Amino acid sequence: MKLFDEMPRIEGEHLILREMAASDAPALSELAHSGEVRRFLPTFLYEQLGDDPVATIERMREKCFDTKESILLAICDREAPDVMMGIAEIYAYEERKPKASIGVRILKEYWGRGIATEVAALLKRYLIEEAGVRTITAHVMVDNTVSSIPLLKCGFRKLYPGCVEDWGREEPVLVDKYVFKRRWMDDHQPTGEES
């Protein structure tokens, strides 16, 4: 299966990543307008572009998925699969490489619960094992040190520190680029002590 062949539903031990529904509009609006979340994000994210969150969700498949621009999934607890806690994103897919980037945005009330770590692990597993992606990147503002922790826990490496990127702000943003490569998994052969 290739990325964008079907809208994924990714299930983990505690979380479900699923397609957004109209009932997610209040959470999407809160996330899109939260200053504490937005201060670490580009200004041109899809959920920030419209004023009507219901219309944004209704157009999401056409504008993002069908164009192969990005996959935006609601992050939900398995015990409350109808309550959106944030967004998991897959974007910048390059089929020939094959490579993709990931992003995670979580409502402040759910910070500090390990959600970002499980989301990063679920996205990594899905992209490597099911979608055939070989390289995954994540871009994190240098000032956003907390968001680097889940990536490091999931085996990402900070290979490109302090890169300058245009995130749609008045000034360019300094970003650390984290990378995970499939070959790192392939190269690791367990020893008898690890089994």
Record the pTM: 0.92
Per-residue pLDDT of the chain (195 residues; tens, 9 = 90+): 899 999 999 999 999 999 999 999 999 999 999 999 989 999 889 988 888 999 999 999 999 999 999 999 999 999 999 999 999 999 999 999 999 999 999 999 999 999 999 999 999 999 999 999 999 999 999 999 999 999 999 999 999 999 999 999 999 999 999 999 998 876 654 444 432
pLDDT score at 50: 82
* Cα end-to-end distance, the chain, whole Å: 30
pLDDT score at 191: 42
The CATH number of the domain holding residue 143 is 3.40.630.30
Is 79 inside any structural domain? yes
Helix, strand or coil for residue 79?
coil
Is 82 inside any structural domain? yes
pLDDT score at 185: 75
If phi over 0 gives left and psi between -120 and 50 gives alpha, with beta otherwise, what is residue 162? left
Domain count, the chain: 1
Is 2 inside any structural domain? no
Is 3 inside any structural domain? no
CA distance 104 to 20: 15
CA distance 97 to 76: 31
pLDDT score at 193: 42
Is 1 inside any structural domain? no
Is 124 inside any structural domain? yes
Tell me which residue range forms the domain holding 99: 10-182
Is 4 inside any structural domain? no
Nearest to 179 by CA among 124, 132, 110: 124
Q: Estimate the share of the chain in helix, then strand, then coil, as percent rounded to the nearest 5.
A: 35, 30, 35
pLDDT score at 48: 86
pLDDT score at 188: 56
Is 193 inside any structural domain? no
